């Protein structure tokens, strides 16, 4: 029989997994490639993205996420290509997920394009027993565990310079990360994503963008993130968001140059976790290389 401490840790990890499943991002509107492969190449530039998230600061074993991605259109074709890596650490567990995305885009009108995308993913899950303490000396059940899982996903992304809507399933295949030969304690379920956003020009210097992300997972409540962002002079972004029955967030961003954008987000829990955590922090950097050194006159807001 496994020790109580192992069961508790895995129960905590599984609770986080079932509630959260895929990695959670407050600034999802800038990190769309991780949930929708059809986004690859849609910005018309080689886009390099890096993010660090520290969740539930003050809570032992809370999630820490690092994400890096590159996506670009392929020459003058309608194809887009993306590669991303996510590192998730929760308690004694570590997950490394690498994905390759391929998209194909067709014009549907003078302003809108529809992109189709497929995603191939490799996931490596690791349980490190050196981070566990057994009540029984030399407990043979406390063993490190590593498991590899491949997966496939797909997505649709309809977009213009002002609006977008997308639907995606990043992973079609359900898989057990860890089990005790009787019941899965840590299971990756199928996640369904719906995203949408629209940019309103309030005047020549201020843009307003409401956006939403909803995530559906069988056996879990519907998760909805609703955000409202303002962009001033195409340089400074200020926003807030609400994660349904979970957290409120504040966001700030700076367009440092035509190529570089940096953003920061802070979450405050609206659940009982607020009694044990001082919140979550998220920072990202995006750097873009434009074709033939062409520069965009107005940075796109998503």
Distances (CA, A) of 127 to 94, 158, 230: 7, 39, 42
Q: Which residues contact 71 (CB under 8 A, 6 or more apart)?
A: 33, 39, 40, 41, 43, 46, 47, 80, 81, 82, 83, 84, 101
State the pTM of this model. Answer: 0.86
Domain that holds residue 233: 4-293
Which residue, 209, 235, 172, 154, is CA-closest to 27? 209
Does a structural domain hold residue 131?
A: yes
Residue range 169-188: mean pLDDT, rounded: 70
Give the 3-state DSSP-derived string for the chain, with helices as H, strands as E and coil as C: CCCHHHHHHHHHHHHHHHHHCCCCCCCHHHCHHHCCHHHCCCCCEEEEEEEEEECCCCCCCCCEEEEEEEEEECCCCCEEEEEEEEEEEECCEEEEEEEEEEEEEEECCCCCEEEEEEEEEEEEEEECHHHCCCCCCCCCCCCCEEEEEEEEEEEEEEECCCEEEEEEECCCCCEEEEECCCCEEEEECCEEEEEEEECEECCCCEEEEEEEEEEEECCCCCEEEEEEEEEECCCEEEEEEEECCCEEEEEEEEECCCCEEEEEEEEEECCHHHHCCCCEEEEEEEEEEEHHHCCCCCCCCC
Q: pLDDT digit string (tens) for 250-295? A: 999 999 998 999 999 999 999 888 888 899 999 999 999 986 555 5
In this prediction, residue 220 carries a pLDDT of 79
Share of the chain above pLDDT 90, in %: 63
Does a structural domain hold residue 61?
A: yes
Does a structural domain hold residue 299?
A: no
Does a structural domain hold residue 298?
A: no
For residue 269, give the CATH number of its domain. 2.40.160.40
In this prediction, residue 245 carries a pLDDT of 87
Does a structural domain hold residue 301?
A: no
Does a structural domain hold residue 211?
A: yes
Q: pLDDT digit string (tens) for 2-24? A: 444 444 444 444 444 444 457 88
Does a structural domain hold residue 32?
A: yes
In this prediction, residue 91 carries a pLDDT of 87
The pLDDT-based confidence of 138 (bands split at 50, 70, 90) is low
In this prediction, residue 9 carries a pLDDT of 46
Does a structural domain hold residue 229?
A: yes
CA–CA distance, 209 with 229 (Å, rounded to integer) = 5
Q: pLDDT digit string (tens) for 37-72? A: 999 999 999 999 999 999 999 988 899 999 999 999
Give the 3-state DSSP-derived string for 71-111, with helices as H, strands as E and coil as C: EEECCCCCEEEEEEEEEEEECCEEEEEEEEEEEEEEECCCC
Q: pLDDT digit string (tens) for 210-247? A: 999 999 987 778 889 999 999 999 999 999 999 998 89
Q: Which residues contact 273 (CB under 8 A, 6 or more apart)?
A: 56, 59
Residue range 169-179: mean pLDDT, rounded: 80
Q: pLDDT digit string (tens) for 74-114? A: 988 899 999 999 999 998 889 999 999 999 999 999 999 99
CA–CA distance, 70 with 81 (Å, rounded to integer) = 8
Average pLDDT, the chain: 86
Q: Give the total number of structural domains in the chain.
A: 1
Residue 34 has phi, psi (to 5 degrees) of -75, -25
Q: Is the pLDDT of residue 185 over 70?
A: no
């Amino acid at each position: 029989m496994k020790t109580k401490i192992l069961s508790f840790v895995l129960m905590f990890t599984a609770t986080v997994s079932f509630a959260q499943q895929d990695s959670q991002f407050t600034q999802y509107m800038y990190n769309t490639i991780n949930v929708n492969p059809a986004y690859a190449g849609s910005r018309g530039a080689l886009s390099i993205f890096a993010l660090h998230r520290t969740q539930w600061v003050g809570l032992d074993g809370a999630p820490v996420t690092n994400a890096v991605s590159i996506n670009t259109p392929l020459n003058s074709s309608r194809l887009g290509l993306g590669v991303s890596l996510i590192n998730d650490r929760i308690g004694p567990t570590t997950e490394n997920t690498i994905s390759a995305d391929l998209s194909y885009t067709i014009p549907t009108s003078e302003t809108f394009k529809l992109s189709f995308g497929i995603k191939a993913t490799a996931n490596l899950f690791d349980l490190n027993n050196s981070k566990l303490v057994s009540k029984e000396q030399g407990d043979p059940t406390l063993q490190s565990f590593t498991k590899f899982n491949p997966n496939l996903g797909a997505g649709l992304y309809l977009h213009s310079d002002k609006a977008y809507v997308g639907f995606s399933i990043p992973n079609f295949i359900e898989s057990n990360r860890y089990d005790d030969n009787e019941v899965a304690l840590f299971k990756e379920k199928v996640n369904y994503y719906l995203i949408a956003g629209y940019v309103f020009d309030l005047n020549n210097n201020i843009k307003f963008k409401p956006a939403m992300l909803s995530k559906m997972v069988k056996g879990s409540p519907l998760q909805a993130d609703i955000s409202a962002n303002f962009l001033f002079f195409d340089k400074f972004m200020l926003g807030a968001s609400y994660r349904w029955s979970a957290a409120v967030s504040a966001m700030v961003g700076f367009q440092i140059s035509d190529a570089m954008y940096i953003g920061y987000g802070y979450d405050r829990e609206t659940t009982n976790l607020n009694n044990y955590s001082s919140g979550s922090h998220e920072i990202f950097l995006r750097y873009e290389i434009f074709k033939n050194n062409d520069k965009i006159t107005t940075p796109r807001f998503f």
